[in-house]
Amino acid sequence: MLEVRDLVKVFDGFVAVGGVSLDAPTGSIGAIIGPNGAGKTTLFNLITGHLRPDRGHVKLDGRDVTGIAPHDLCRLGVGRSFQRTNIFPRLTVFQNVQAAFLSHRGRGGNVMTPVERLYRDETLALLESIGLAARAGEVAAFLSHGGQKQLELGLALALEPAVLLLDEPTAGMSATETREAIRLIERLARERGLTLLFTEHDMEVVFSISERITVLHQGRVIANGTPDEVRRDEAVRRVYLGERH
């Protein structure tokens, strides 16, 4: 579903991403890990069109989408979340998800139709699936950090993606919130047949749901394989897990 080949991005002589290649098969769950500054978020920005690569290409279901604007890529089926939560804090939980449906289905500019009735059933069903139906009427800003990340996931899912990229989806969460969030993400990915690619620092999270793991160090891939293969890789243990043997 997603093919990345030899992506390179250089900033003023600094190689942020240096020839990264990876594949995300249809319906797979993959993780990208690495120390701070390894290039994970820059790689996501290259894949999703927020940055244009200096070299290399990105293919979505066989189509070259390298450098396509993020909103156009979204229409082609790629959803994205960010390290910093992106929601509409002054709107209710319901209005947040409804707005995503309105935008995705081309109704955002229609000022003549009362929006309260548009996509109501779809919005409620999605809120139910992410565990926020009981909080539909609450103002989004008053949700906990974990609740806001759930809502951000709902916004991404309202765009009906085939591929979903999550940048540190459990960052800042408590241990309990993290466990709940990962169970939710895995369930939704399986139920919807999503191709999921995520970055994460929590190794328990990574190894609990990933089918394949790509490890970055200084912008380059040092390992790529199943969780067991990555766990045994000497370079990963030395560079990322801090082992010296």
Cβ-contact 158, 97 below 8 angstroms: yes
Contacts of 214 (CB under 8 A, 6+ apart): 22, 30, 31, 32, 33, 221, 223, 224
- Band (pLDDT 50/70/90 cuts) for residue 109 is low
The model's pLDDT over 49-103, given as tens digits with 9 standing for 90+, comes to 999 999 999 999 999 999 899 989 888 999 888 877 888 999 999 999 999 888 8
Percent pLDDT > 70 in the chain is 93
The yes or no reply on domain 2-239 and CATH 1.10.10.60 is: no
Cβ-contact 199, 40 below 8 angstroms: yes
* Residue 112: predicted pLDDT: 47
As a whole number of angstroms, the distance between CA 219 and CA 40 comes to 8
Q: Is residue 116 over pLDDT 80?
A: no
* Alpha helices by DSSP H, 62-200: 70-75, 93-104, 120-129, 145-158, 175-192
For residue 203, the one-letter residue type is: M
Q: Is residue 45 over pLDDT 90?
A: yes
For residue 194, the one-letter residue type is: L
Name the more confident of 171 and 155: 155
* Residue 169: predicted pLDDT: 87
The Cα angle at residue 155 between residues 154 and 161, in degrees rounded to 5:
90
Q: For the whole model, what pTM was predicted?
A: 0.84
The model's pLDDT over 183-213, given as tens digits with 9 standing for 90+, comes to 888 888 998 899 999 988 888 888 888 999 9
